[in-house]
A and B are shown apart, each in its own frame.
Chain A
């Protein structure tokens, strides 16, 4: 990978880290109301996968998708506003942090784990039938891969060779359930084999590895060569939600060990080794942080979603 691309990915990850940190504070201040699921430590996945999509490609997310959304090109402002219940949010402030649709950016996120897997197949089927070169990416976790929807959706997509890239973002836990205690096979990518798909597991903390694997899958899908499933191995540094009883499912030592494999640190050291100046990276970072604060101030001025909105667009009145 050339340094310019890697630098772009690095900056994207830095943005996502600070964005996520900001969201956590907003949750603590009760400015984000719903369940909030931190993304710390998984930034290489969002940056390496979602940022490769074009606007007319579809991205299906889940309950932990605020960073996927921003990596796909939805603005920080529209995403923050959504999580803070403001009208300028992607769903007009009616969805919150766990479910939202940004129609213009073909972004669909929902909080029913696993159910985006058949939905992605449906979008892929439409693109195939419409003979377009649009592709679909679907983000779910180790937990999502245990649902019936996973098997129904993956079988259909693989059977009909649909242009869908399934990203199994294995962050080691479904809430408090460790993956070793909840999935009968290891690695999880073995499940691809039963649908005659290539078994691919990549280091999800290495943004270059993620990017390259996903780039191949996207080219394949655009060329009409069908579905891919990529397991990206990463780690959820924070709780399922903030303040969950972490001591019930993991040790501090385990978390510390994974902190050493931080995707941003790793990428930074590679960039420095390739001759990028540290102060250049730091300057970019300060600009990112400054802009984030401006975004936050802007969102705080935005009006909340209204009662009128809450009862609008429930359905389309019948044409008589």
Chain B
């Protein structure tokens, strides 16, 4: 029996940092207040004292410089973890990520690798309104050259971050601000979770619910509620948005013949449409009904907990969508 510990999402992240920084001296952390504060949600607390300012770099409030530093130093053999405090601020760093990090491996004929983790966090739930609550992951899924990861729990974040640090691609590691204090029992001994592999969070036979990030917990709660009515939901967390584990998704939908995709990001032009297309392309004939989506609304995230929770998916909306899909 594996020994376990109960940790928060933020603590699990801190453990992953520490383990990877001890393992490889080329791994370093750069971002706004990652050292003195130990990052906004304290995930890098204690690292400055342990590793010193060369390995834990408090950067000026300059997202383009932080991302540019990550790209330049990665080209010279380092393995940066660059933190962009809110995904909303990544707009300032987009040039470095899209035009450089994502292009240099190809432009150098495969000679210059970009082992960078761009860590950031998005989403609603902390009453921060429209410039501190967005779900912008879709932008990165559309850029060839980037890997996009969204960890949904403490167990996931630790294993996925460790794999992201070891990967030689630029990885967009998009956390969720409403998950930092979520707790989970995780193994004490070291473990890794491979990138590009989905997790079947809950097995079921009537409908496949594909949910990302914070939405995974809403989907599981909805599934548990429906279980009482005799509806059996399979919940899949893709964990990596690109490359997408199509096999796990299709295997599930081939069994359930129904599919709902749940994302906090708006539907239009988004990954939720990509996931739906994968299902249509892969098992159209087996589907009993078209794929349904439950997504964030096409609006700015409003101020305050009452309104913000009304414009993103919740258990009730997911339950309703599943009932409609199954005519129940």
Contacts and interface: CB of A to CB of B under 8 A. Distances in A.
A316 B113 contact: yes
A230 interface: no
Interface in A82-137: 91-92, 94-95, 99-101, 103-104, 108, 110, 112, 115, 117-127, 129-130, 136
B73 A314 contact: no
A149 interface: yes
Contacts, number: 142
B197 interface: yes
A216 interface: no
A103 B108 contact: yes
A318 interface: yes
A58 B64 CA distance: 20
Interface stretch (B93-101, B119-127, B217-225, B314-322): B93-101
Contacts of B197: 320
Contacts of B195: 318
Contacts of A94: 106-107
Given A315-B144, A315-B169, A316-B168, A103 B69 contact: no
B68 A149 contact: yes
B72 A315 contact: no
Contact of A149 (B74, B95, B109, B144): B95
A119 B105 contact: no
B265 interface: no
Interface residues of B, number: 48
A262 B96 CA distance: 36
Interface stretch (B75-83, B128-136, B182-190, B298-306): B75-83
A318 B194 contact: yes
Interface stretch (B15-23, B54-62, B200-208, B274-282): B54-62
Given A103-B112, A152-B65, A123 B76 contact: yes
The winner among B73, B96, B144 for most chain A CB atoms within 10 A is B73
A119 B112 contact: no
Interface stretch (A3-11, A153-161, A292-300): A153-161
A101 B108 contact: yes
A245 interface: no
Given A125-B69, A152-B64, A318-B195, A119 B169 contact: no
B270 interface: no
A115 B144 contact: no
Contacts of A152: 60, 62-65, 68
Given A115-B95, A129-B54, A100 B107 contact: yes
Contacts of B104: 101, 108
Given A122-B76, A148-B64, 4 more contacts: A104-B111, A125-B69, A314-B145, A316-B167
Interface of A: 58, 91-92, 94-95, 99-101, 103-104, 108, 110, 112, 115, 117-127, 129-130, 136, 148-149, 152-153, 155-156, 159, 312-316, 318-320
